[in-house]
């Protein structure tokens, strides 16, 4: 059942009552996996009271210090976002997001990120996501309580779980390789960034938006484990070649051209 493959991740929640209300929303719709990243107060009586009996969700909630820990065993990540970004990212509606969830491979986990009450998710956190999900609220009054947002998302996931043929597989066929998990993808990005610095393609003192755009490229592809291993092998080969070759002079750097200054 797809609901068992969904993890709700709340990041640095300030008021424990919101955690309780989210637990209630989750239990209403059959979700069970709640992860809290550095909550300000938890456990807390306010969380228990606002859960209206969903204390089993609270008791089973995993509390971690970092987003890396929350996503360590997840294979697809969606971030909730109420505003546009300087660099566009693939955006889905809650219903489209639920259709993607319905096509997850068995035993693969999707994390849905919800940010702080006052400012949501940071750009760095959103850059960890394959897609952003936007709830189409009234543009004249778009502020939505985090528990209400979870309720909308959870409802669409429940509907998708009940309508077994809501969506075809994501690529039109059964995939032959398991998707890479979040940790494998992050290690690849770290390797990629170090390699780009090594070959003088990325200036760490003036990185512009290069890594953000490369993140968007690779996350849009939703790479599997073999594809990530191929990339890591490719980067390792570049590392070895670069170590034995003269470094490119800075004035030949392709990103120094004016036409590439917005990268």
Same domain, 241 and 120: no
Average pLDDT, the chain: 88
Tokens 């228990």 map to which residue? 48
pTM for the whole thing? 0.76
Distance, in Å, from the CA atom of 132 to the CA atom of 235, rounded to the nearest integer, reads 28
Q: Is residue 7 part of a domain?
A: yes
Count the residues in the chain.
263
Do residues 59 and 32 make contact, with C-beta atoms less than 8 angstroms apart? no
Domain that residue 117 falls in: 2-162
Question: Of 12-21, 94-103, 240-249, where does the model show the most confidence?
Answer: 12-21
Residue 258 banded pLDDT, cuts 50, 70, 90 = very low
Beta bridge partners of 79: 113, 132
pLDDT at position 114, please?
97
Same domain, 83 and 203: no
Same domain, 120 and 243: no
Residue at a domain's end among 131, 162, 193: 162
Is residue 95 packed enough to be buried (19+ CB in 10 Å), middle (13-18) or exposed (0-12)?
A: middle
Distance, in Å, from the CA atom of 254 to the CA atom of 263, rounded to the nearest integer, reads 11
pLDDT at position 222, please?
87
Q: Is residue 85 part of a domain?
A: yes
pLDDT at position 90, please?
83
Q: Is residue 175 part of a domain?
A: no
Flag whether pLDDT at 4 surpasses 70. Answer: yes
Is residue 126 packed enough to be buried (19+ CB in 10 Å), middle (13-18) or exposed (0-12)?
A: buried
Beta bridge partners of 37: 11, 64
- The CATH number assigned to the domain holding 125 equals 3.40.1280.10
Same domain, 188 and 242: yes
Mean pLDDT of 85-95: 83
Residues contacting 245, CB < 8 A, separation 6+: none
- The CATH number assigned to the domain holding 188 equals 1.10.8.590
Q: Apex CA 116: angle with CA 46 and CA 126, to 5°?
A: 145
Phi, psi of 162 (to 5 degrees): -90, -25
pLDDT at position 249, please?
46
Long-range contacts of range 213-216, CB-CB < 8 Å, 24 or more positions apart?
213/87, 213/263, 214/189, 215/127, 215/189, 216/87, 216/89, 216/90, 216/127
Residue 263 banded pLDDT, cuts 50, 70, 90 = low
8-45 pLDDT, tens digit each: 999 999 999 999 999 999 999 999 999 999 999 999 99
Number of domains in the chain: 2
Alpha-helical (H) ranges within the chain are 16-29, 45-50, 55-60, 67-71, 94-102, 123-126, 146-162, 182-198, 210-221, 225-243
CA distances from 82 to 51, 101, 137, 140, 148 (A): 25, 20, 9, 13, 13
147-195 pLDDT, tens digit each: 999 999 999 999 999 875 444 446 667 778 888 988 999 999 999 999 9
DSSP 224: B
Q: Is residue 112 part of a domain?
A: yes
108-131 pLDDT, tens digit each: 899 999 999 999 999 999 999 999
Tokens 């709640």 map to which residue? 34
50-88 pLDDT, tens digit each: 999 999 999 999 999 999 999 999 999 999 987 656 677
Same domain, 92 and 218: no
Mean pLDDT of 199-213: 91
């Amino acid at each position: 059942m797809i609901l068992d493959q969904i993890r709700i991740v709340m990041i640095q929640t300030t008021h424990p009552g919101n955690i309780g209300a989210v637990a209630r929303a989750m239990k209403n719709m059959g979700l069970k996996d709640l992860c809290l990243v550095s909550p300000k107060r938890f456990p807390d009586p306010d969380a228990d009271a606002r859960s209206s009996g969903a204390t089993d969700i609270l008791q089973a909630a995993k509390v971690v210090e970092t987003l890396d820990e929350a996503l360590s065993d997840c294979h697809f990540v969606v971030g909730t976002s109420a505003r546009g970004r300087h660099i566009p990212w693939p955006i889905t509606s809650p219903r489209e997001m639920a259709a993607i969830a319905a096509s997850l491979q068995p035993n693969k986990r999707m994390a849905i990120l919800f940010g702080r009450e006052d400012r949501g998710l940071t750009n760095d956190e959103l850059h960890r996501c394959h897609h952003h999900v936007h709830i189409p609220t009234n543009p004249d009054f778009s502020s939505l309580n985090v528990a209400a947002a979870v309720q909308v998302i959870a409802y669409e996931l429940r509907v998708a779980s009940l309508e077994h043929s809501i969506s075809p597989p994501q690529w039109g066929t059964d995939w032959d390789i398991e998707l890479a998990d979040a940790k494998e993808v992050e290690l690849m990005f770290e390797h990629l960034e170090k390699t780009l610095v090594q070959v003088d393609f990325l200036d760490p003192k003036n990185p512009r938006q290069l890594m953000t755009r490369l993140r968007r490229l690779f996350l849009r592809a939703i790479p599997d484990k073999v594809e990530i291993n191929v990339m890591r092998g490719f980067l390792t080969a570049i590392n070895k070649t670069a170590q034995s070759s003269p470094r490119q002079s800075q004035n030949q750097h392709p990103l120094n051209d004016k036409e590439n200054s917005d990268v």
